[in-house]
Amino acid sequence: MKLLQRLEAAHLNGLSVALGVAATHIVVGGLFGETAGLAAVGGAVCASLTDVPNPPQRVLPRVLPAAFAAAVVTALVGVTDGSLALTLAVVAVVSFLSLMTLAWGLRAGPLSFSPVLAMVFAMAWDRTTGATSPWAHALWVGLGGCVYAGWARAAAVVLRHRLRELALAAALRATAVRVRSRAQRIALAVGADEARIRASIADDVMLADALQAARDQVFAARRSPRSRKQTDLVLGLIELRDLLLASRLDTELLGQDFPARQWRAALADTLRHLADVLAALADAVAYGAPLPEVSAEAWRAQLAARLADICAPDGDSRTHLVSALASRLGHMLDDVGAMVARQALRDDIDSPWTPEKLAPFVSPEGWPLAALKPHLTLQSSVMRHALRSALALSLAYWLGAALPWAAHPFWLMLSVAVVLRGNLEQTIARRNNRIIGTVQGCLLVLLLAHVHWVPLLSLCFIAAVGVAHAYVNRRYRVAATAATLMALLQPLMLAPGSDPFIGERLADTVIGAGLAWLFSFVLPSWERAAVPRLATQLRGALARHAANMLRWMPSPEEQLAQRLSRQQAYTALAALAAAAQRTRVEPESVRLPDAQIEGALSHGYRLMALLGAVQHQVQRRNARLDAAKAETALPLARKACVDVLNGEPMTGTDPAEIPDGDAGAWPEHLGQQDLTPWLLRRLRLCRHEAREFVAALDRLPAPRPPSPR
């Protein structure tokens, strides 16, 4: 039981898939015979690709389309068997239509591969059992997919509580990692490469993914005392991320002299302690460990005492800046303390967060046909990838049929399918891991070739199914090793002691990986082409976020709009950051320049941090603000920021504040009751960063006309 408790969500999902495939084989084989059982296994494996950790209500809408597609493709392959021309046509059409499903986004990734895998299984059918008609074969495949769908739905119900706990724990650990990373940067304990904005953004993207996974699991849960606690914890982590982002502001103004290094060390050590508490809270959520002991007041006192012991020159104005930074850190300490206290409460607390309010923050679901329309053009990266894949897989099958070892041409096609991705970065990574994983899998098969006991080989096959599923998006090299076992164990299960075709498998993998890499340059979709679209989306998202955040005492409805626009802005920033990461392996002639892309990202994240800092000050420190001045300044700043982000002439700016010459100075903070000067400074900086951000986007290179080949 303790071993099961230590399994991560991906491991539990892989174990569930392996058991589901085995159960499908047992049920269908027991009712309709071994031939039907083997065919049903193919349908179950194809359907299982879309069975990822999800709330129960999301399982069937994802798994059943994959089962249906597998049955249809199986029938098409069966009726065209024996004709190379017709088979090539089926390969091209199925590949194209499968990859066009990526128009629905990342959630369609598993679905896009399911028909291709079904095509491979159907082509291999006559070489394994071959004792049924194409229509009967398709029927058994469809039945296997449906049986597996029922298993997947039942497993999701059984595992729902555990998956929510693991998603929460993963989000807590990702936040702890981000807090430690921020502490390292404050303490100047990172190298030059790690100090760059791109490395920091990579951490932010990992945290955003973990938070979204937690939202999808927790916000979709039925309302109960347990789910309300979990919802409060997720919402607390989201607020903590905003505070952490705001903690970037002004730290560079501390400098690097001796007092500055001592101040930095004190702030960084407090952040590390906070990260330790988050990690302990993750263990409490995931494994039932005791809750950590937390006292925000004690933390504050320790930090204040340490800062007071630092000797700074008389009249050093940085003491006011240090006081402001310590105050921001105090808000983070309060929030973490509140999270721990909320988990310790046994009484149920009414929450204003109804399922209707939480629904907009959950990842979109469904397959609306309207999503395909924008991609019915050669300018679309989805369309170009679908055409590229159709050409590559068709050529791979034809070449496989023409090679001297033409017994398994679909192996070459499968190698191309799993390696060729929508961008060059992922294709290169898949190419290398596919080759290494195949070699590792072949070595394992050499050992298993001496095993003649079919039940043991079957057990290894089922285990390989689960491992491949668990690691396909985490460590593809492990998944490729397991996939090789799956492919080469099938003939051994049918004929123990036979030739496992290891040499052919290795050759097909190397040739297929090379073909996939070469086809990355056919109808390429370089990141430069996506920049105008990403820039427009990002400017619009930040304009909406600025319009929502720069408000005095927002109502509950306005606070909900703030959270939603914040999520959209983070998503848009992450999309540009991902493009910046992918472009690094592209040919130099089309690569996005590092300096310009990092400049745009830096100003974008800084603007997000400032908007968050303004709203935190309005909501947490309103008693220390001059309401009349704040209510006058906020609409002016809001109008100015929205105008510049929308590409309009800046209006709404207080003439007395042009040209923001003092935007980099900081007001007094230590011992000051009125913090309005800090609010006004942040509003000036918001306008400044909005202008700089738009200018940085304008400096990005324009896309070149797409190459026709």
Q: What pLDDT, in 10s, does the model give residues 134-185? A: 899 999 999 999 999 999 999 999 999 999 999 999 999 999 999 999 999 8
Predicted confidence band of residue 91 (pLDDT cuts 50, 70, 90): very high
- Is the pTM higher than 0.85? The answer reads yes
| N residues, the chain | 709
Q: What pLDDT, in 10s, does the model give residues 593-648? A: 888 888 899 999 999 999 999 998 898 888 889 999 999 999 999 999 999 999 88
According to DSSP, residue 327 is labeled: H
Q: Answer yes or no: is pLDDT of 405 > 80.
A: no
pLDDT for residue 127 = 47
Structure tokens, 50? 């879309």
Average pLDDT score over residue span 490-513: 79
pLDDT for residue 668 = 57
pLDDT for residue 693 = 95
- If phi > 0 it is left, if psi is from -120 to 50 it is alpha, else beta; for residue 288 that is left
Q: CA neighbours within 13 Å on the CB side: how many for 54?
A: 21
H helix or E strand, kind and range, residue 608: helix 594-620
> Torsion angle of alpha carbons 246, 248, 251, 253, nearest 10°?
-90
pLDDT for residue 660 = 43
pLDDT for residue 271 = 94
Q: What pLDDT, in 10s, does the model give residues 253-262? A: 888 889 999 9
The phi and psi torsions of 385 (rounded to 5 degrees) equal: -70, -40
pLDDT for residue 656 = 43
User: Do 53 and 10 meet the contact criterion of CB atoms below 8 Å apart?
Assistant: yes
Q: What pLDDT, in 10s, does the model give residues 180-223? A: 999 998 998 876 566 566 667 777 888 888 999 999 999 988 88
CA-CA distance, 198 to 549, in Å (whole number)? Answer: 26
Predicted confidence band of residue 507 (pLDDT cuts 50, 70, 90): confident
Structure tokens, 246? 């705001």
User: Do 614 and 683 meet the contact criterion of CB atoms below 8 Å apart?
Assistant: yes
Q: What pLDDT, in 10s, does the model give residues 435-473? A: 999 899 888 888 888 888 878 888 888 899 899 999 988
For the chain, how far is it from start to end, CA to CA, in angstroms? 56
Q: Quote the mean pLDDT of the chain.
A: 87
User: Do 117 and 48 meet the contact criterion of CB atoms below 8 Å apart?
Assistant: no
CA-CA distance, 581 to 567, in Å (whole number)? Answer: 21
CA-CA distance, 618 to 157, in Å (whole number)? Answer: 42
Q: Answer yes or no: is pLDDT of 431 > 70.
A: yes
Burial class from Cβ neighbours inside 10 Å (0-12, 13-18, 19+) for residue 642 reads buried
Q: What pLDDT, in 10s, does the model give residues 344-353? A: 887 667 778 8
Burial class from Cβ neighbours inside 10 Å (0-12, 13-18, 19+) for residue 398 reads middle
Q: What pLDDT, in 10s, does the model give residues 649-674? A: 766 555 444 444 444 456 655 556 78
Burial class from Cβ neighbours inside 10 Å (0-12, 13-18, 19+) for residue 648 reads exposed
Average pLDDT score over residue span 367-391: 93
> Torsion angle of alpha carbons 580, 585, 586, 592, nearest 10°?
30
Predicted confidence band of residue 385 (pLDDT cuts 50, 70, 90): very high
pLDDT for residue 584 = 85
User: Do 485 and 464 meet the contact criterion of CB atoms below 8 Å apart?
Assistant: yes
Q: Answer yes or no: is pLDDT of 708 > 60.
A: no
Query: Angle 361-525-481 (CA atoms, 0-180°, nearest 5)?
Result: 75
